[in-house]
């Protein structure tokens, strides 16, 4: 039995197919290799892009003040941003170390004492009686009180050590991101051309419009999420300072972190309200409670003022994208999620009405 001989056309087709397969395989291997090498820097680069896009309007003003010297303005931005990040971190770390050493020394010497609770604590609803009983035990015999919650303390300690380690890595990542962002700002024209080239390659004639939506969304989230979080932190800090709460700066920082990850600041302010009621008179304590509730709920009317302002994308789309992105990808997902959902919404609207979908206004497409 003889096998049919292949025609020259078949041989040429097989050769072209093998050649294409080998080339595609080499390209995929090269792409995977490049991704593997750059993977440790993906998150810092993403943060650098977000920082550069969010800070660009201020950077333009800084360049104008410095007589058009872009590199000098970018270097000044990096110095100021690093100082704002590193100096509070050092001071906070030093304060925490000093507090830990003071508590440790007081524990070893036996001089650590918890003041007894006020009788009014037992009258608080739901938790008053149990809290008063445990607080009284802690004021009499702190060691016995700690033994009762030893498992919870171990869990909290493990979480705290993990959080401290994660915070250290996060700060290092932000330092790298700030330096990369300064490089992006110093070469904005090249970065803008690259952005338009990539977006146009992906989306064709709509590339510039979608790039503008991405830029506007990042700035909107920076204002609507980070801006609101800073306002809430400052307002909470004012209330804490007025009531002379110990460690007011640390609690304000925790309020900032909670607000950034879209958790209500009352999670921090709630226990402080309990503390204030136990040490202050009724009038100031009630005033502080009302102030804390206002601060915790202020995002309900602050976010509509900042989030999605000046964009055709509905605020709800941006907000859902920010919250969903954060739930799936952490804090950086605040920006990535909102950008992805905004682009998806825009493409969906174009698909529904390809004729009526008009590009966004020119002032909204602010380039890097």
Stronger pLDDT, 6 or 81, i.e. the higher one: 81
pLDDT tops 70 at residue 354: no
Is residue 149 included in any domain, yes or no? yes
* Model pLDDT for residues 132-163, shown as the tens digit of each residue: 787 787 777 777 777 777 777 777 767 666 66
The pLDDT value given to residue 363: 44
Q: Which letter does DSSP use for residue 298 in this model?
A: T
Contact by Cβ (8 Å): 225, 304? no
Average confidence (pLDDT) over 290-311: 78
* Model pLDDT for residues 218-230, shown as the tens digit of each residue: 878 777 777 888 8
Instruction: Report d(CA 288, CA 284) in Å as an integer.
Output: 6
* Model pLDDT for residues 15-41, shown as the tens digit of each residue: 888 888 999 999 999 999 998 898 888
pLDDT tops 60 at residue 367: no
Is residue 61 included in any domain, yes or no? yes
Average confidence (pLDDT) over 87-106: 73
Instruction: Report d(CA 77, CA 48) in Å as an integer.
Output: 13
Which pTM was predicted? 0.66
**Two tokens at 223?**
């204002």
User: Position of tokens 């994208």?
Assistant: 321
Is residue 168 included in any domain, yes or no? yes
Domain count, the chain: 1
Query: Cβ contacts of residue 120 below 8 Å, gap of 6+?
Result: 277, 278
Is residue 116 included in any domain, yes or no? yes
- Note the residue count of the chain: 368
Instruction: Report d(CA 248, CA 216) in Å as an integer.
Output: 35
Stronger pLDDT, 152 or 235, i.e. the higher one: 235
Nearest to 217 by CA among 117, 332, 317, 85: 317
pLDDT tops 50 at residue 93: yes
Query: Cβ contacts of residue 222 below 8 Å, gap of 6+?
Result: 50, 54, 335
Structural domain boundaries enclosing 104:
42-186
Is residue 26 included in any domain, yes or no? no
Contact by Cβ (8 Å): 66, 73? yes
Is residue 121 included in any domain, yes or no? yes
Where residue 6 falls (left for φ over 0; alpha for ψ -120 to 50; beta otherwise) is beta
Q: How confident is the model at residue 360 (pLDDT cuts 50, 70, 90)?
A: very low
User: Position of tokens 């003041």?
Assistant: 115
Instruction: Report d(CA 162, CA 44) in Å as an integer.
Output: 21
pLDDT tops 80 at residue 196: no
Is residue 27 included in any domain, yes or no? no
CA end-to-end distance (rounded Å), the chain = 70
Is residue 330 included in any domain, yes or no? no
Q: C-alpha dihedral over 207, 211, 212, 216, to 10 degrees? A: 150
Of 53-62, 320-329, 344-353, which one has max mean pLDDT? 53-62
The pLDDT value given to residue 143: 72
The pLDDT value given to residue 5: 63
């Amino acid at each position: 039995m003889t096998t049919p001989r292949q025609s020259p056309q078949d041989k040429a087709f097989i050769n072209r197919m093998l050649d294409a397969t080998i080339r595609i395989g080499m390209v995929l291997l090269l792409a995977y290799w490049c991704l593997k090498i750059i993977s440790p820097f993906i998150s810092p680069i993403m943060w650098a892009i977000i920082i550069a896009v969010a800070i660009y309007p201020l950077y333009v003003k800084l360049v104008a003040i410095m007589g058009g010297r872009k590199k000098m303005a970018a270097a000044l931005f990096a110095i100021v941003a690093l100082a704002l990040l590193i100096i509070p971190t050092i001071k906070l770390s030093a304060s925490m170390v000093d507090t830990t050493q003071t508590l440790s020394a007081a524990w070893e010497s036996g001089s650590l004492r918890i003041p007894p609770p006020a009788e009014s604590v037992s009258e608080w609803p739901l938790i008053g009686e149990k809290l008063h009983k445990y607080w009284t035990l802690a004021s009499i015999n702190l060691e016995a009180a700690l033994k009762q919650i030893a498992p919870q303390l171990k869990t909290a300690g493990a979480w705290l050590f993990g959080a401290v380690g994660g915070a250290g890595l996060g700060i290092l990542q932000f330092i790298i991101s700030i330096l990369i962002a300064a490089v992006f700002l110093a070469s904005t024209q090249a970065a803008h051309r690259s952005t338009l080239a990539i977006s146009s390659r992906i989306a064709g004639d709509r590339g510039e419009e979608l790039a503008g939506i991405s830029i506007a969304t990042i700035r909107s989230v920076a204002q609507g999420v980070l801006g609101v979080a800073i306002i809430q932190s400052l307002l909470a800090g004012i209330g804490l300072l007025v009531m002379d709460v110990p460690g007011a700066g640390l609690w304000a920082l925790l309020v900032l972190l909670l607000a950034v990850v879209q958790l209500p600041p009352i999670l921090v302010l709630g226990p402080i309200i309990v503390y204030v009621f136990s040490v202050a008179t009724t009038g100031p304590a009630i005033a502080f409670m009302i102030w804390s509730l206002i601060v915790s709920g202020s995002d309900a009317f602050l976010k509509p003022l900042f989030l999605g302002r000046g964009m055709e994308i509905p605020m709800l789309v941006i907000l859902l994208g920010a919250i969903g992105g954060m739930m799936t990808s952490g804090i950086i997902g605040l920006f990535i999620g909102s950008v992805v959902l905004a682009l998806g919404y825009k493409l969906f609207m174009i698909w529904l009405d390809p004729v009526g979908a008009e590009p966004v206004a020119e002032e909204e497409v602010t380039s890097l």
